[in-house]
A and B are shown apart, each in its own frame.
Chain A
């Protein structure tokens, strides 16, 4: 009798221990997922917190004198006391502006003009290099309502600039679009053709196996090595202009190829065999079956995969650094062979700037990039949901 009691007690004791372990294990699994989630939230909060302030830009209401003297020496266009707090980059554009608009000559106008990055940072309570005298001047102007933070249109309409207050993402954005166009034009046809060949035509032989192993390997090669390929083959061997969107697009196309091939194959495989057999039964040839039936049915899947691949290519930086797409490029490219930079590369160069005012611009550029990528991915998800057929 007493043995049974002690056995029961031991069993209960062990059971309690086991249940404790169960709880601890489940707790640690929950903890792991929570950690990832906490990080995700912290990460986005951090980037948004740093970046949103770049959407506003300090502007100052000044008297601008348009006359002969200021055309010769642009510094004379504004009063001396303002010269240290108004952006020099804006002042430099004045002589040209007067040439283009002769009607403003010999007038004095009150205008809102871009302030220097330091004034901007001072108004946003961030570290800056303003002297105490200038700080007092800004405070006074602020009381009079002559300094304020307005929406930063320069950020979206300017290219890169050595003056932080004028730097914008337009040239990088346009460069990104050019690069993506090249990538799409090269990778989509080749990728879809490869997938169609492997899924629908290829006999099961040596060559097919080599191609399949190759595609898997290609997907695993670090992106930076594609940069070495672009440098050695496209630039040094084929003579494609360095830093151009053409060479960037070609390099990224080779990188995106495995993604498109793998997703297209999955989409083709999802089309049931009965559809092919029905087409064959009606006397269609292999190609007719593919072109009239299989490909249209697989199209949503193919598009989804291509958009995801393109989104990946759009965020890629490392191979583009190697082929020289990180240079200082203030002008918007107007062709595929012109020097260009892309949004991630612009983020990289701004992140390396020592001037603090670039920091919020970097974060803002990241926000633009992330929202573009997020909308591309949501488009892909929407396409899949909207057109997916369940067999």
Chain B
């Protein structure tokens, strides 16, 4: 199929070239509506598009398992369609045809099609997750899933899933790690943003900002390696030094490293909103004799607060969905505890674990990944909508 499309396009390009020469020659002597190239494109579209539509249509039928179009029908009908399209196209190569309008209409349609792919992706994600999650919630009731405190998919067998899929310990771990991460990222992120936008000279700013952006560009798998190999043993040693016991898969390690990963997000978004606060507000406050810190704390930060909150919300949604750091440094065992030095697991860890094991695709454990994914999707979308709402309110204040 790929080959035939290539052959078809090759033929179309060659004939398009000939049509171009033909129209160029003719157009010297008479008035043609469009530039010669548009006639060439016009004919090329007529030659290829009908056959491509047929290809697309038959493969859609095939994928939806509705009807298999046999090759013995497909090949002659493609050739016929191409010939018909060619004839139609060539027939219309005459001065009064509005070739440019036709070509631009096709371009416009393809632009709309491209734009709708982003919608299709979202619909695809939502449908794919909901469809599989539905199967999961046939086996396990939603109530048990959301309120159970015991997660043991390995013990679950066909027909006996009662009380094996309680997701509270998993979400507890997720929120614990997210909270630790935000405890690191929010103060450091906001304070560095304040320093960069209010105190620092242009030179310091121009080095600090790109340096922080390097932190944002480091792949998460690298942070995961760093957390597992370097940070985790350090924390275990430190805990022993103060007389505590820490697991190697403690929740503190991924939390700290994730917090460092999120610093640049919060600092660069906060930096933008702090700089958007009008100069006159600062000047007015400073003219009353306040110190810089008083101006910042009482005037600038409250004015920038909605933007900063939005930045923190985006940071939280990043932390919730972050995968590699927790897969490599957090534990696998669901654990309901307040102690960050114990091993805990997260939603994303369980998703990866369920889908990279050797279970059958329709086993309850594999399907549970989609149930967890659905909850994760809902939470992140809600956080995103909330942050957009907060930012909108901020905008209406100063613009």
A residues at B contact (CB < 8 Å): 18-19, 21-22, 24-26, 28-33, 35-37, 39-40, 43, 46-47, 50, 189-190, 193-194, 196-198, 201-202, 210-211, 214-218, 220-229, 231-233, 236-239, 254, 257-258, 261, 285-287, 311-312, 314-318, 321-322, 324, 326, 344-345, 347-348, 351-352, 359, 362-363, 366, 369-370, 373-374, 377
A29 touches B194 (CB 8 A): yes
Query: Least Cβ distance of A160 to chain B in Å?
Result: 16
21 contacts between A and B (CB under 8 A): A22-B293, A28-B191, A46-B230, A47-B222, A47-B226, A193-B111, A194-B114, A197-B114, A210-B119, A211-B119, A220-B381, A221-B380, A222-B380, A287-B107, A314-B219, A317-B323, A321-B356, A344-B221, A351-B221, A369-B219, A374-B217
Asked, given contacts A217-B384, A228-B129, A229-B124, whether A46 binds B356 with beta carbons under 8 Å apart, the answer is: no
| A211: chain B residues within 8 A (beta carbon) | 115-116, 118-119
A258 touches B118 (CB 8 A): yes
B217 touches A233 (CB 8 A): no
Q: What CA separation (Å) do A254 and B125 show in the bound complex?
A: 10
Main SS at interface, chain B? helix
Q: What CA separation (Å) do A236 and B370 show in the bound complex?
A: 14
Q: What CA separation (Å) do A214 and B102 show in the bound complex?
A: 30
Other than A221-B125, A315-B222, A321-B352, give 15 A-B pairs with Cβ distance below 8 A: A32-B189, A47-B222, A197-B112, A197-B115, A211-B115, A220-B380, A223-B323, A224-B351, A286-B104, A317-B221, A318-B324, A321-B356, A362-B225, A373-B217, A374-B214
B195 touches A315 (CB 8 A): no
The one of A35, A201, A225 in contact with B188, judged by C-beta atoms closer than 8 angstroms, is A35
A315 touches B291 (CB 8 A): no
A229 touches B192 (CB 8 A): no
| B124: chain A residues within 8 A (beta carbon) | 229, 233
A257 touches B211 (CB 8 A): no
| B108: chain A residues within 8 A (beta carbon) | 201, 287
Query: Least Cβ distance of B161 to chain A in Å?
Result: 21
Q: Which of B138-146, B237-245, B314-322 contacts A (4 or more CB under 8 A)?
A: B314-322
B121 touches A257 (CB 8 A): yes
Q: What CA separation (Å) do A39 and B192 show in the bound complex?
A: 14
Per-position 1/0 for B120-134, Cβ under 8 A of A: 011011001101100
Q: Is B254 an interface residue (CB 8 A)?
A: no
| B263: chain A residues within 8 A (beta carbon) | 36
Residue of B nearest to A44 (CB): B214
**Contact-residue bracket for chain B:** 35 or more
Q: Is B13 an interface residue (CB 8 A)?
A: no
B118 touches A224 (CB 8 A): no
The one of B218, B377, B388 in contact with A225, judged by C-beta atoms closer than 8 angstroms, is B377
Q: What CA separation (Å) do A217 and B352 show in the bound complex?
A: 23
| A374: chain B residues within 8 A (beta carbon) | 214, 217
B residues at A contact (CB < 8 Å): 63, 100, 104, 107-108, 110-112, 114-119, 121-122, 124-125, 128-129, 131-132, 187-189, 191-192, 194-196, 198-199, 208, 211-212, 214-215, 217-222, 224-226, 228-230, 260, 263, 267, 291-294, 296-297, 314, 317-318, 320-324, 327-328, 348, 351-352, 355-356, 361, 369-370, 373, 376-377, 380-381, 383-384, 388
Main SS at interface, chain A? helix
Q: What CA separation (Å) do A46 and B292 show in the bound complex?
A: 38
Query: Least Cβ distance of B391 to chain A in Å?
Result: 11
Give 9 closest A-B pairs by Cβ, nearest first. Answer: A222-B321, A315-B219, A32-B191, A232-B128, A193-B114, A25-B293, A318-B323, A29-B195, A197-B111
Query: Least Cβ distance of B363 to chain A in Å?
Result: 14
Query: Least Cβ distance of B65 to chain A in Å?
Result: 10
Query: Least Cβ distance of B294 to chain A in Å?
Result: 7
| B189: chain A residues within 8 A (beta carbon) | 32
Asked, given contacts A217-B384, A348-B221, A370-B218, whether A226 binds B125 with beta carbons under 8 Å apart, the answer is: yes
Query: Least Cβ distance of B331 to chain A in Å?
Result: 14
| B111: chain A residues within 8 A (beta carbon) | 193-194, 196-197, 201
| B291: chain A residues within 8 A (beta carbon) | 18-19, 21-22
| A196: chain B residues within 8 A (beta carbon) | 111
| B187: chain A residues within 8 A (beta carbon) | 32
| B215: chain A residues within 8 A (beta carbon) | 36, 39-40
| A318: chain B residues within 8 A (beta carbon) | 220, 323-324, 327, 348, 352
A228 touches B117 (CB 8 A): no
A222 touches B323 (CB 8 A): yes
